[in-house]
Amino acid sequence: MNKIRVHVEKGSSSSYEIHIGTHILDRMALILASQAWARRYFLLTDERVFALHGGRVLGVLRETGLTVEEIVFPGGEESKSIRTCTELAEQLMERGADRTSALIALGGGVVGDLTAFLASIYMRGIAHIQVPTTILAQVDSSIGGKTAVDLPSAKNLLGTFTQPKAVFIDLAFLETLPPREFTNGLAEIVKYGIIEDPEILEDLQKGEEALRRRDPSFLAGIIARACRIKKAIVESDENDRGLRRILNFGHTVGHAIEAESGFAVSHGEAVAMGMCAAALLSERRGHLSPPDREKVFSAIRRAGLPVRIPASLDPEGILRGLKKDKKKEGEQIRFVLLKKPGLPFVNGGIPLSLVRETIEELRA
Ligand code: NAD
Ligand code: ZN
């Protein structure tokens, strides 16, 4: 089992560990039992994850003598709301959860964000533990301490910064992940390769076959590297003011595409298209060489992700989405661009007209 320590300034504990491995639930149970973070645990998860893995997780934890009860809710982004949060809080209260209780988030980013948000406000804050079960949650949402629920009109608008007591990344969960969710998560790994560690892109290329088979040891290696990158970035910018912005690479246009498609284009696919747009913009502005731009495109393609924007999406709709985005400064948009793979920078002054041309060029 691989361990990564995350150091944070805020919160009750100054640091916590990310544990990574295959079939690490036994270890997790022992750690929970020995750490005594809580007297009672509440396992929060969505219906699908509960059906696939809930019984096993509860079994292992209870065998170690831990008191654990499950709270299961419907999956999907619709659940990441203040209403679900209130309902879950009511359930906790009815079952007598108090400040000596802790929450365990078992699931993807929706379960993770919602559970962490609830833990941060229930009785002014109780402990929580992240057990991410999608690639996206393992390399992105479970690390960094951002919690959130959505408003009907704005994603992630309500949230807090709260760190978990620990994160347990068990690659065995990925065996049941649907192909589309798997590829979705790869987009974030490719992003880390592009913004920080181009060796990841080479490894993904060399390991194409292992990746297709979801080989646990290959995945463990690549996911651990991705986690280390996210950890290093959030450690240096816990409150999301500077360096952390580079994590937005591909997300400016990506979010606008996701919204314009009515979420028919998945997050990973949209980010892939957004990364292509950012790379092309970087080339157009003379920052990125054409061969490096091609390197970015081929890494995205090889991961099974799209490098073209569907012609069915209205470019003006995408641009309107960009204008609504908080990254806008007048008629200029703030973008994370590239000088080369591994060398991103933030550019505050990209004219909308250039973004329009880039989107047109990428349309299939
Ligand atoms: P998700 O949680 O909706 O999971 C996707 C689907 O996969 C769900 O239907 C879920 O039931 C299912 N699933 C989960 N694990 C499974 C498994 N092992 N086997 C089979 N099915 C499984 O989505 P996600 O992509 O994991 O996360 C997206 C969310 O993460 C968004 O709400 C986004 O805003 C958030 N996010 C947060 C941060 C952060 O820093 N907090 C960062 C990135 C994304
Ligand atoms: Zn993302």
Q: Whose CA is nearest to atom 28 of ligand 1?
A: 109
Residue 79 gets which letter from DSSP?
G
d(CA 362, CA 353): 14
Residue from 50, 113, 117 whose mutation best tests the ligand 1 pocket (most atoms within 8 A of CB): 113
Residue 241 in this model has a pLDDT that exceeds 80: no
pLDDT tens digits, one per residue of 129-160: 999 999 999 999 999 999 999 999 888 999 99
Quote the radius of gyration of the chain (alpha carbons, Å): 20
Q: Whose CA is nearest to atom 14 of ligand 1?
A: 108
79 phi and psi angles, rounded to 5 deg: -75, -15
Residue given tokens 């284009």 in the structure block: 265
Residue 240 in this model has a pLDDT that exceeds 90: no
The predicted pLDDT at position 10 comes to: 63
pLDDT band at residue 13 under the 50/70/90 scheme: low
Least confident of 95-104, 167-176, 234-243: 234-243
Residue 237 in this model has a pLDDT that exceeds 80: no
Q: What value does the mean pLDDT take over residues 259-269?
A: 95
pLDDT band at residue 24 under the 50/70/90 scheme: very high
The predicted pLDDT at position 346 comes to: 93
Q: Around Cβ 4, how many Cβ atoms within 10 Å?
A: 18
The predicted pLDDT at position 175 comes to: 96
- SS3 category, 26: helix
Among candidates 71, 168, 167, which has minimal Cα distance to 122? 71
Q: Whose CA is nearest to atom 3 of ligand 1?
A: 76
Q: What percent of the chain has pLDDT over 70?
A: 96
Q: Which residue has the higher pLDDT, 169 or 327?
A: 169
Q: Around Cβ 232, how many Cβ atoms within 10 Å?
A: 14
Residue 12 in this model has a pLDDT that exceeds 60: no
How far is ligand 1, taken at its centre, from the CA of residue 40, in Å? Answer: 25
Q: What value does the mean pLDDT take over residues 207-214?
A: 93
Q: Are 335 and 344 in contact (CB under 8 A)?
A: no
Helix axes 179-195, 216-236, angle to 10 degrees: 50
The predicted pLDDT at position 71 comes to: 98
Least confident of 6-15, 40-49, 59-68, 277-286: 6-15
The predicted pLDDT at position 63 comes to: 98
Residue from 6, 47, 134, 143 whose mutation best tests the ligand 1 pocket (most atoms within 8 A of CB): 134
Q: Whose CA is nearest to atom 21 of ligand 1?
A: 177
How far is ligand 1, taken at its centre, from the CA of residue 48, in Å? Answer: 11
Which helix or strand (DSSP H or E) is residue 202 part of? helix 198-206
Q: Are 169 and 138 in contact (CB under 8 A)?
A: yes
Q: Which residue has the higher pLDDT, 241 or 168?
A: 168
pLDDT tens digits, one per residue of 298-351: 999 999 999 999 999 999 999 999 887 656 666 788 899 999 999 999 988 899
pLDDT tens digits, one per residue of 273-305: 999 999 999 999 999 999 999 999 999 999 999
d(CA 182, CA 58): 25
pLDDT tens digits, one per residue of 39-58: 999 999 999 999 999 999 99
d(CA 253, CA 271): 8
Average pLDDT in the chain: 94
Q: What percent of the chain has pLDDT over 90?
A: 87
d(CA 52, CA 89): 24
Which helix or strand (DSSP H or E) is residue 112 part of? helix 109-121
159 CA: nearest ligand 1 atom: 41
d(CA 324, CA 170): 38
Q: Whose CA is nearest to atom 38 of ligand 1?
A: 141
22 phi and psi angles, rounded to 5 deg: -110, 130
The predicted pLDDT at position 330 comes to: 67
Residue from 44, 47, 79, 110 whose mutation best tests the ligand 1 pocket (most atoms within 8 A of CB): 110
- Take residue 359 and report the two structure tokens written for it: 């989107």
137 CA: nearest ligand 1 atom: 26
How far is ligand 2, taken at its centre, from the CA of residue 305, in Å? Answer: 14
Count, residues in the chain: 364
Residue given tokens 């997300």 in the structure block: 251
Contacts of 13 (CB under 8 A, 6+ apart): 163, 165
Q: Are 285 and 268 in contact (CB under 8 A)?
A: no
76 CA: nearest ligand 1 atom: 3
How far is ligand 2, taken at its centre, from the CA of residue 267, in Å? Answer: 6
Q: Which long-range contacts (CB under 8 A, 24 or more apart) does 257-260 make?
A: 257/309, 257/313, 257/318, 257/321, 259/321, 260/313, 260/314, 260/317, 260/318, 260/321
Residue from 49, 161, 167, 271 whose mutation best tests the ligand 1 pocket (most atoms within 8 A of CB): 49
- SS3 category, 61: helix
- Take residue 124 and report the two structure tokens written for it: 């002014």
Residue 239 in this model has a pLDDT that exceeds 70: no
pTM of the model: 0.95
Q: What value does the mean pLDDT take over residues 192-210?
A: 96
The predicted pLDDT at position 327 comes to: 60
Q: Residue 219: beta bridge partners?
A: none
- Ligand 1: residues whose CB is within 6 Å? 46, 48-49, 52, 75-77, 80, 107-111, 113, 133-134, 136-137, 140-141, 144, 146, 156, 173, 176-177, 181, 184
Residue given tokens 């809930």 in the structure block: 54
How far is ligand 1, taken at its centre, from the CA of residue 162, in Å? Answer: 18
d(CA 171, CA 262): 31
Among candidates 223, 188, 183, 227, which has minimal Cα distance to 203? 223
The predicted pLDDT at position 149 comes to: 98
Q: Whose CA is nearest to atom 41 of ligand 1?
A: 141
Least confident of 33-47, 59-73, 168-182, 235-249: 235-249
Task: Say which ligand is closest to the CA of 52.
Answer: 1
